Amino acid sequence: MQIRRSPKVYDVCIVGSGAGGGMAAYVLAQAGADVVMLEAGRDWDNARDGTMLRWPYQSPRRGASTKERPFGEFDACIGGWEIEGEPYTRAPGTEFDWWRARMVGGRTNHWGRISLRFGPDDFRRKSLDGLGDDWPITYDDVKPWYDAVDRLVGIFGSNEGLPNAPDGIFQPPPKPRCYELLIKQSADRLGVTCIPSRLSILTRPLNGRPACHYCGQCSRGCAVNANFSSTGVLIAPAKRTGKLTVLTGAMAREVTTDRAGLATGVSYVDKAAGRDEHVRARIVVLAASALETARLLLNSRSSRFPQGLANASGTVGKYITDTTGTDVWGYVPKLADHVPHNEDGVGGCHIYMPWWLDNRKLDFPRGYHIEPWGGLHVPAYGFMGGIERYPSGGGYGRQLKNDYRRWYGTLVGFSGRGEQIPSEHCYAELDPSAVDRWGIPVLRFHWKWTDYEHLQVKHMQETFRALIDDMGGTVFPEMPTAEQGYGIATGGRIIHELGGARMGADPRTSVVDANCRAHEVKNLFVADGGVFVSQADKNPTWTIMALAMRTASHIADEMKRGAL
């Protein structure tokens, strides 16, 4: 194969431009390093490409999904569960779905922006209950980086002093909406902790970005960058330093190494030209998302690294997890016939429920948090979950219109998001024969939930039903049975995949050290969710960003003192 080699040698090559890659690029470019970034997807600009203020009636589809936009045509994510020419496979009996973004900023263009710190217990779970593994670092090691991310990116919330849901440097949270107040009352009655949510959306101007104007459309890409996306908040200022070169449509194939076993750069496919290229760099940072990073390492095989790069331990692709999840929803008659009012708010819930119970008194380990939803959002294709399910709902003409007006805003739902224990049953490996359109071997997934996760999800179902019942509502879906896994979402469906290049003090059982540097390759680092040792009952991205900032600052320090 003819490969074109770049004459220039960059200081750092970063693969991937999402939460982890964007943060690494920001820190390293600010520190004066000459950085090149490879991004498999296309360019994206929130102001140019977002659809923040588009009305559903401006499209014949009314916002329904398209092949490229499975979450709806206005959604700011190009990618999906299936990408043409980029397959993945599942071992027999495995159910697993993999969401991939293909654009500058990755999934941070449309993510939910629920921005939670892991707590002190989340870094030492094995010591507490004997399951999984401890991290080689503690909450105190990461705290200053969480603080720095809060200050740089901006987050709203409230300081509550909860033991394992740490406080942060918060901007004021928006007030709860009407249905959220009703949820809060029921949560208080049932003893479920319910506090203002913690979202990376500005309620006050910060670092040259304006405060949110409450249009409620965060998942479409914020044209004024009042919410966090890697694209608008990290990559744009990194580019302005003149130190960051972003190559789009550049699909990394493998990390190249020299005879000494050091990384020399990354070979990639220029997708538009259909040509193989090679970019040279003194340091390589992988941030292609947890599972793509594992794939890249497994594909970077050589006589020196026959099992793949940084994989002497055989743990690349292992100990992968996703968040557990299930949903319950119903309608609450108390919310019918409301006085019309504007409660758009931010593009996300204004309240949330962190884990509030003690597992020693329960039949499953580890917790979950609750993300409520509902309210008076812009109606779009499929809204309200089917009018025929409401009392007297459906029909034609005037009755249909009246029913929509009456019941609009009465739908309330709860999504549980919990911690899965890493196990030997869940891993990714290279498929022995399948390749993508460029001939790059693809991942094959193995996945199995255990009773730990099933019983946790059963508890979610029961809790959410009790909440809707207490609100005087009627739940729509039947209680799922044990045979239905109590309604647990298929692995990968919550889109919080982590692990596959986990951190550890022992090179025999882990891929990277406490600074996210590969044990075996001194100038190779990982800056995405691949390094996570355990999942926690929190969404992972704030921790991905804190760790990426910590790793990139470590690289900058090492470069300054000539050690890299």
Applying CB under 6 A, the residues found at the interface with ligand SF4 are 52, 201, 212-218, 222, 226-227, 346-347
Interaction partner, residue 222 (ligand SF4, ligand FAD, none; CB < 5-8 Å by kind): ligand SF4
Looking at beta carbons only, is 109 or 410 nearer to ligand SF4? 109
Interaction partner, residue 214 (ligand FAD, ligand SF4, none; CB < 5-8 Å by kind): ligand SF4
Whole-angstrom distance, CA of residue 540 vs CA of residue 528? 10
499 near ligand FAD, rule: CB under 6 A: no
38 near ligand FAD, rule: CB under 6 A: yes
Residues 6 or more apart whose CB falls under 8 angstroms from that of 300 comprise 254, 255, 256, 257, 308, 309
What's the min distance (Å) between Cβ of 231 and ligand SF4? 13
Interaction partner, residue 376 (ligand SF4, ligand FAD, none; CB < 5-8 Å by kind): none
496 near ligand FAD, rule: CB under 6 A: yes
Choosing from 10, 18, 364, 550, the residue that interacts with ligand FAD (CB under 6 A) is: 18
The interface mask with ligand FAD, positions 276-295, x = CB under 6 A, is -----------xxx--x---
Interaction partner, residue 21 (ligand FAD, ligand SF4, none; CB < 5-8 Å by kind): ligand FAD
What's the min distance (Å) between Cβ of 99 and ligand FAD? 5
Amino acid (one-letter) located at 465: R
235 near ligand FAD, rule: CB under 6 A: no
Q: 114 to 153, contacts with ligand FAD by CB under 6 A?
A: 114
Looking at beta carbons only, is 250 or 370 nearer to ligand FAD? 250
- CA distances to 194, 236, 350, 548 from 17, rounded to whole Å, are 34, 11, 28, 12
Interaction partner, residue 540 (ligand SF4, ligand FAD, none; CB < 5-8 Å by kind): ligand FAD
322 near ligand FAD, rule: CB under 6 A: no
What's the min distance (Å) between Cβ of 126 and ligand SF4? 39
- CA distances to 172, 445, 528 from 23, rounded to whole Å, are 24, 28, 10
346 near ligand FAD, rule: CB under 6 A: no
Looking at beta carbons only, is 74 or 486 nearer to ligand SF4? 74
What's the min distance (Å) between Cβ of 202 and ligand SF4? 7
Helix (H, G, I), strand (E, B) or coil at 416: strand
Interaction partner, residue 463 (ligand SF4, ligand FAD, none; CB < 5-8 Å by kind): none
Q: How big is the CA angle at 196 (ends 191 and 199), to the nearest 5 degrees?
A: 135
Whole-angstrom distance, CA of residue 414 vs CA of residue 330? 9
Considering CB under 6 A, how many residues would be counted as binding ligand FAD?
Answer: 39
What's the min distance (Å) between Cβ of 495 and ligand SF4? 19
Contact by Cβ (8 Å): 251, 295: no
Q: Where are the beta strands (DSSP E) in 344-387?
A: 351-352, 368-374
Looking at beta carbons only, is 46 or 311 nearer to ligand SF4? 46
What's the min distance (Å) between Cβ of 118 and ligand FAD? 11
Q: How big is the CA angle at 432 (ends 427 and 437), to the nearest 5 degrees?
A: 100
Whole-angstrom distance, CA of residue 434 vs CA of residue 88? 8
Residues 6 or more apart whose CB falls under 8 angstroms from that of 100 comprise 79, 80, 83, 86, 289, 292
Looking at beta carbons only, is 155 or 316 nearer to ligand SF4? 155
495 near ligand FAD, rule: CB under 6 A: yes
Q: 248 to 277, contacts with ligand FAD by CB under 6 A?
A: 250-252
Whole-angstrom distance, CA of residue 267 vs CA of residue 246? 15
What's the min distance (Å) between Cβ of 347 and ligand SF4? 4
HSE, side-chain direction, 13 A CA sphere, residue 241: 20
Secondary element (H or E) of residue 463: helix 451-470
19-30 and 541-560 are packed helices; what angle lies between their axes, rounded to 10 degrees? Answer: 30
Interaction partner, residue 108 (ligand SF4, ligand FAD, none; CB < 5-8 Å by kind): ligand FAD
Looking at beta carbons only, is 231 or 410 nearer to ligand FAD? 231
Q: Within 81-232, where are the H helices?
A: 125-129, 139-153, 178-190
Choosing from 106, 132, 173, 232, the residue that interacts with ligand FAD (CB under 6 A) is: 106
Contact by Cβ (8 Å): 345, 174: yes
Contact by Cβ (8 Å): 495, 540: no
Looking at beta carbons only, is 239 or 377 nearer to ligand SF4? 377
| CA-CA-CA-CA dihedral for 381, 385, 388, 391, to nearest 10 | -130
What's the min distance (Å) between Cβ of 481 and ligand FAD? 28
Instruction: Name beta bridge partners: 414.
Output: 328, 372
Contact by Cβ (8 Å): 424, 133: no
CA 243 to chain centre: 27
What's the min distance (Å) between Cβ of 176 and ligand FAD? 18
Contact by Cβ (8 Å): 531, 502: yes
Interaction partner, residue 501 (ligand FAD, ligand SF4, none; CB < 5-8 Å by kind): none
Contact by Cβ (8 Å): 112, 76: no
What's the min distance (Å) between Cβ of 206 and ligand SF4? 12
Whole-angstrom distance, CA of residue 388 vs CA of residue 394? 5
Which residues would be at the binding site for ligand FAD (CB under 6 A)?
15-21, 38-41, 99, 101-103, 106-108, 110-114, 250-252, 287-289, 292, 296, 495-496, 528-529, 539-541, 544
